A and B are shown apart, each in its own frame.
Chain A
Amino acid sequence: MNLKIGVPSKGRLMDKTFEWFGARGVNMGLAGADREYSGAVEGIDGVELVLLSAGEIPRELAAGRIHLGVTGSDLVREKLADWETQVAELALLGFGFADLILAVPTAWVDVETLDDLDAAAAVFRARHGFRMRIATKYHRLVRDYLREAGVADYQLVDSQGATEGTVRNLTAEAIADITSTGATLRANHLKVLPDVVIHKSQAVLFASRAADWSGVAAFDALLSRTGLVRPDGI
């Protein structure tokens, strides 16, 4: 059976993934016409490239429809419950760095730490009659983090994009989002709480624990070519 590798279908994440494998003698590239989502692998026989949205790769790994997949560590932790039982981290790829952070308006001169946010949330709720809203698409990660830290009187509101605009649009008081440079935050008059790093994300090569690994000969070849170690249980 072919070894199926899921790779992000566009952008820097795809290019960097191709580069990472290329540097280890496994040449990946797009096949066919320019806009066709079809890939090819040279250097090892029996490897099949599956081009997918980075956001769908965790689900495909969990379902075992792909053996390996490259995606952000944030997406796997957000989308897969008990992620370690569903996938194994094969290699941290050293690109796609981004932090999941909490940000509030720069005008909030009284809020610099999680303690401050928690205390401000209590007063906000008493004053406005609803719990302070934090806009995010990382519900699981943010909720787990804030529960662990014992923060109360907040609510998460869903924001799948342009999250930095939610405060100005009065649909949230604070945001939790992935940021790599912080430029968009500054442009939207938001500041990061420096002691709050919910997750430090980077691109990771994951292996599926649910996939059928019997007769996937190319995996050993790939491991020896890349110098990686077969994870326990796979």
Chain B
Amino acid sequence: MPVSTAARAEAERLFAAFRDAGAVAVETDILQPAEILLDLYGEDIRGRAYVTSDPLRGEMMLRPDFTVPVVQMHMTHGADPARYCYMGEVFRRQDHRGPRANEYLQVGYEVFTRDDPAAADAEVFDLFDRLLAPLRPRAAMGDIGVLMAAVQGLDTTDLRRAALLRHIWRPRRFRALLDRYAGRAAPSEARIRMLQSLAAGPVADLIAAAGPMIGQRGPDEIAARVAALLEDADTPAIHADQAAMLDRLLALTAPAPEALDALRALAIDMPALTPSLDGLEARLSALETLGVRLGKITFEASHGRAAMEYYDGLVFSFHAEGGDLPPIASGGRYDALTRVLGQGRSIPAVGGIIRPGVVALLREGRA
């Protein structure tokens, strides 16, 4: 589907608005090195991006988003603090027929600052909210930081907390792990048999009896994981009340002020949540100061879990009412991404993108 002239005109208008808000316009290459994107997103990105090869630069991808190259640019020679905006095509391979575009425009706004994170979050959300207000979209917000805090607060081993944290973005696997750790799901036959055989003898003998060592994963790695498995098998289950509380947290959907009250109520029994809730409260009050009506924002605790893995605080999106259009806009905070791409340096960062093609469709009343 070609980018329409109406979409292009919307993009120019939004881009100008982002510049007026104080952002510096930046450009990024369309051809991005595949390696960095694969390391960040994992193998899934191959199914969602166009991979091509360059005889000298190796595997390349047609830019699937702007955030990664903009962060890289900032980490190499950006001023601190900084506000950037950009405009251009992104490319998403589609493995299924349907309305999803494989090429569309994004206009984005990113803030890198060490100052008050609540204020920076609110600045981005409020800017998007004002620009999109004529479309009367539904605004949704979540906070990956609250989910992380809930997992960190579980009364269990570091190993189990780390495994759950690693899968926050994969809801199905997270659920399976939580059920297992809470003793709500019985371990599989294969696992029971394996644990029995692992408990039976010295691990070096077991490995030697199982077969010759081939490949790069060494006997010390196998032995270390066997020890971890046996230790984990003796770990008491996560208490049913705590698991149930996590379930309630994950299912929470309510207007933002009520959601905060509900989360504060959960924090009475899960005090580890409190610092992240203080952050959420500061963000909401910063939004209120900017004149955003909090009651119209739906807080969805699981928002953004199926989206890009790099968000670790605020996540938000704006959707058209009804219809099956993609989100008009989405974004969030990605402090950890700057650490990954910053080679030892990091800076708190928050931003988002608007899809001018969707804006144009809604303005034309075609949706």
* Chain A interface residues (CB < 8 Å from chain B): 81-82, 85, 105-110, 112-113, 115-116, 118-120, 122-124, 127-128, 131, 139-140, 143-144, 146-156, 167-168, 170, 172-173, 188-189, 191, 194-195
Contact = CB atoms under 8 A, between A and B. Distances in A.
B133 interface: no
B116 interface: no
Contacts, number: 126
Given A140-B95, A168-B215, A112 B44 contact: no
Nearest to A146: B43
B43 A143 contact: yes
B293 interface: no
Interface in B214-256: 214-217, 219, 221-222, 224-226, 229
B177 to A, nearest CB: 8
B268 interface: no
B1 interface: no
Contacts of A173: 215-217
Given A147-B47, A170-B215, A112 B222 contact: no
B38 A155 contact: yes
Interface stretch (B15-23, B149-157, B166-174, B296-304): B166-174
The 10 closest A-B pairs by CB, nearest first: A150-B173, A106-B211, A150-B170, A167-B215, A112-B194, A110-B225, A112-B190, A189-B211, A107-B211, A168-B214
A108 B97 contact: no
A178 to B, nearest CB: 20
B214 A189 contact: yes
B3 interface: no
B167 A152 contact: yes
Contacts of A123: 221, 224-225
Nearest to B219: A107
Contact of A149 (B38, B173, B214, B229): B173
Contacts of A149: 172-173
A82 B224 CA distance: 42
Nearest to A170: B216
Contacts of A110: 194, 198, 222, 225-226, 229
A152 B95 CA distance: 20
Interface stretch (B139-147, B202-210, B258-266, B354-362): B202-210
Interface residues of B, number: 46
Contact of B188 (A113, A120, A146): A113
Nearest to B309: A152
A139 B97 CA distance: 19
20 contacts: A105-B214, A108-B210, A108-B217, A109-B203, A109-B222, A109-B226, A110-B198, A110-B225, A116-B194, A119-B225, A122-B163, A127-B221, A131-B42, A139-B46, A140-B95, A149-B173, A150-B170, A156-B43, A172-B215, A173-B216
B191 A113 contact: yes
Contacts of B224: 123
Contacts of B79: none
B252 to A, nearest CB: 22
Nearest to B96: A82
A189 B221 CA distance: 18
A147 B44 CA distance: 7
A143 B193 CA distance: 28
A170 B214 CA distance: 8
Given A109-B194, A112-B191, A128 B216 contact: yes
A11 B137 CA distance: 60
B210 A109 contact: yes
A195 B190 contact: yes
A107 B188 CA distance: 21
Contacts of A194: 190
